[in-house]
Amino acid sequence: MPLELPQNYFELFQLPCALEVDERQLIEQYRVLQRELHPDRFAAAGSQEKRLAAQAAAHVNQAYRTLNDRHERATYLLQLQEVVVDDEKDTSTEVEFLMQQMELREGLEELDGLPEAEAFGVRLEREAGALWEDFGVCYAGGRWLDAREVLLKLRFYRRLQQQLQVRREQFSTG
Amino acid sequence: MALLQISEPGQAQPKRRACGIDLGTTHSLVAVMRDGRAVTLPGAEGRHRLPSVVHYGDGPATVGWAAAQGAAGDPGNTFFSIKRSMGRGTGDIDEAHDLVEDSTSGVPRFRTAAGPKTAVEISADILAALRARAEEELGGELDGAVITVPAYFDEAQRQATKDAARLAGLPVLRLINEPTAASIAYGLDQEDDRGLIAVFDLGGGTFDISILHLSRGVFEVRATGGDTELGGDDLDRILLDWVKEECGAEEVDRVWTRTILQAVRQAREALSEQDSAQIDCGGGKVLTLTREELEQRSAPLLERTLRCCRRALSDAGVATADIQEVVMVGGVTRMPYLRREVSRFFSRAVHTGIDPDRVVALGAAIQADVLVGNAQDQDLLLLDVIPLSLGIEIMGGLVERVIERNTTIPAHHAQEFTTFKDGQTALAVHVVQGERELVSDCRSLARFELRGIPPMTAGAARIRVEFQVDADGLLTVEAAETVSGVRAGVSVKPSYGLEEPEIEQMLRDSIEHAQEDVASRALNEQRVEADRVVQALRDALETDGHILSDDAERSGIETATRALIQARDETDADAIRAGIKALEDACAPFVERRMNRSIQQAMQGRRLEEFQEQD
């Protein structure tokens, strides 16, 4: 008998299956689930309870980690539609977009000081925001493959934002 | 005890005996709950801190102050800071001790007057001394212990700690991270929502920084970082070099080094209270160490800690301004300089209210009390993370990460791999831990092989590798070829870990040494385990007996329970072991149903709360 734990992450957290989630509901339900299922609750119990609790808690953790991150959430939404996005292999092939990305990358490398980095961050934020809106429209319209294309573009922005964070730290620590 | 007593409803259950242990690099402590408060326990000589020093001579091992005092006289047989060697291979050891050449599993063995000893055995001697303290205080054998480890300890170091506990005869409920334990002791969960806190933990040998979010009893670790080779010891070594420079000493022996290390530590500690201190270098030469000089020498060490802090903050996705509380842990944080600089870094006053040496043990005792089942009304839940990424080796000596650092545990993740040669029938799985891209830069954890894959064209096989990390942060890996169903798995025993037969041999040796009867100890262990299983079942039946499916299930469980209790009162350890297994089998459906009911409750509980909020 397998554990009767909802396999669908959204169902597990009692959230509608959508890109936008109620973050408060997410964290509250996470805590409720872990309070009941964490292996610490079974530390003095038998080995079977411990094993089942570890299994259940690991599932809850993975679900939480997925839904708590916008990119992961979007990937999961597509996965539920049987559309696979492979982080390693898949990439956007739109030439115009790739050119623009190269330009942004150069911009990032040429940054000179914190104020510039902040301004660059605002720009990334704005452009990524527009793409997220596109994703929402494609997803709502059931255009999964278009949504996937948008998500692949957004990965470029995520990477840029991570690199910008590194630059910011370099600037602030000298 | 012939029959287990079932308490009447409403009648208080007898308290179970539990303790928390801080197994430190330079000092260790044990704490228990007394009248609802955690207290550390002193040794016979009245001191709470037990130096983590072990001396081997003719008789049994000497641990603590006596060992430390005699150290200068017999440095070769005296072990300081053994924690630094836990889970480490021969190449990582830079101790002033001789290693015994022939070691089967790659675990370094030190030459001592009492025969070869591993770091695990030496640590077990420290743990055994602390266990004796706790048992004397609590008046009997322990039911459970929580042992703390640096948050930044890797898999091998954690496993070594658990092995040491087993050798010391400690029933470990959980390994918990030192910074998390400290935050429990501060009771920072008492208020509704404390937000984010940072725990800065600089001990004798290790540094940890943890960023936690606290809300109504839930301690969620967001990120952790650190350095397992950075602590007060390193500061002492820097000061030792300074003394050598000042004295013009070149050729030095172990005895001199040991004496000076003790002197500089005392001077360093004294400088937390005064502006200068004397160091006697022998031969009539006395040096004066000023606080200013000390601060200057400490600066690189401070910078290394702050670098770890920056990364942990960035991993947690927060800025220093988001941190609402900063807790200082570890004896070294008594230095006014560190307090000042850390306070400046976070732009806020730091908590130093609880003795930084004791705070970790106190927190561990509180958690042990909860886990052993004494404090069921306590709303305390720790959600901790793994400090280092786990992955496997792929083509070209590269690492494919399977579980990222700072993933909440328990964690489970599966990844698919494939074969790269036509007709390949075996696959070597090499498990590593670390953040670097090259396998050679990461720590090797384990290797095993998946054999008997049916020959297929390259890339056709589907090999699913599953990683499972339990609540202690320990890893199990399984691999299976999903087309053919061929499986292989290991409970990861780190490459520098002890093998099961070695541990059993050590257990036998230690028992013989203590002149106990091996068979009676094994019997006793099985009896304790049987009592635990029966008691846990009684508790479960008392609250949830109504979810038994029918009388047949109930009578099956009762029969197995009676059989186990009977075996327990006889003298065959194997029969008790079999009885435990039989009872667990009989209970399996009940246990699963019970777990599923917990799940339902969790799912429904939320809905009820929602209704209440809407009302």
Domain ranges of chain A: 9-68, 95-173
Indicate if B436 and B547 belong to the same structural domain.
no
B595: nearest CB among A47, A52, A64:
A52
Is residue B405 in a domain? yes
Question: Is the model more confident about B611 or about B415?
Answer: B415
Q: Do the chains contact at A65 and B408, CB–CB below 8 Å? A: yes
**Cα B424 from Cα B560, distance rounded (Å):** 48
Cα end-to-end distance, chain A, whole Å: 58
Q: Sign of the C-alpha dihedral, residues B594, B596, B597, B603?
A: positive
Determine contact, residues B326/B198, Cβ cutoff 8 Å.
yes
A40: nearest CB among B16, B471, B584:
B471
Is residue B509 in a domain? no
| Best of B417, B469, B595, B612 to mutate (most A CBs within 10 Å, chain A) | B595
Residue where a domain terminates, one of B297, B318, B335? B297
Determine contact, residues B450/B481, Cβ cutoff 8 Å.
yes
Determine contact, residues B428/B477, Cβ cutoff 8 Å.
no
Is residue B65 in a domain? yes
Indicate if B145 and B236 belong to the same structural domain.
no
Q: Model confidence over B157-213: pLDDT tens digits?
A: 999 999 999 889 899 999 999 999 999 998 755 555 668 999 999 988 889 999 999
Q: Sign of the C-alpha dihedral, residues A67, A68, A73, A74?
A: positive
Active site residues of B: 22, 83, 178, 201
| Average predicted confidence (pLDDT) for chain B | 85
Is residue B246 in a domain? yes
Q: Hey, is the C-beta of B608 within 8 angstroms of any chain A C-beta?
A: no
How many CB atoms are closer than 10 A to CB B495? 19
Q: Model confidence over B335-351: pLDDT tens digits?
A: 999 999 999 999 999 98
In Å, how far is B265's CA from the nearest CA of chain A? 32
Does this model's pTM top 0.95? My answer is no
- Give the long-range contacts of residues B258-261, CB within 8 A, separation 24 or more: B258/B71, B258/B72, B258/B75, B259/B72, B261/B236, B261/B237
Question: In whole angstroms, what separates CA B354 from the centre of its chain?
Answer: 22
Q: Model confidence over A125-172: pLDDT tens digits?
A: 999 999 999 999 999 999 999 999 999 999 999 989 988 888 887 777
Residue where a domain terminates, one of B241, B269, B297? B297
Range of the domain at B398: 390-491
Q: What is the CATH number of the domain that holds B600?
A: 1.20.1270.10
Q: What is the CATH number of the domain that holds B136?
A: 3.30.420.40
Is residue B91 in a domain? yes
Task: Specify the CATH number for A9-68; select among 1.10.530.10, 1.10.287.110, 2.40.37.20, 1.10.10.10.
Answer: 1.10.287.110
Q: Do the chains contact at A54 and B468, CB–CB below 8 Å? A: yes
Residue B515 reports pLDDT greater than 60: no
Query: pLDDT-based confidence at B13, cuts 50/70/90?
Result: low
B460: part of which helix (H) or strand (E)? none
Chain A residues near residue B609 by CB distance under 8 angstroms: 28, 32
List of residues 6+ apart from B41 with CB closer than 8 A:
B29, B30, B31, B32, B48, B133, B134, B137
Chain A residues near residue B596 by CB distance under 8 angstroms: 1, 3-4
Strands (E), B332-485: 381-383, 390-394, 398-403, 411-417, 426-433, 443-451, 463-469, 475-481
A39: nearest CB among B410, B587, B605:
B410
- Three-class SS of residue B217? coil
Determine contact, residues B188/B216, Cβ cutoff 8 Å.
no
A169: nearest CB among B310, B408, B412:
B310
Q: Hey, is the C-beta of B595 within 8 angstroms of any chain A C-beta?
A: yes
Task: Specify the CATH number for A95-173; select among 2.40.50.100, 3.40.50.720, 1.20.1280.20, 1.20.140.10.
Answer: 1.20.1280.20
Could you give phi then psi for residue B85, rounded to 5 degrees? -95, 0
Is residue B115 in a domain? yes
Is residue B564 in a domain? yes
Listed by number, the residues of chain B in 178-217 with a beta carbon closer than 8 Å to a beta carbon of chain A are 215
Domain count, chain B: 4
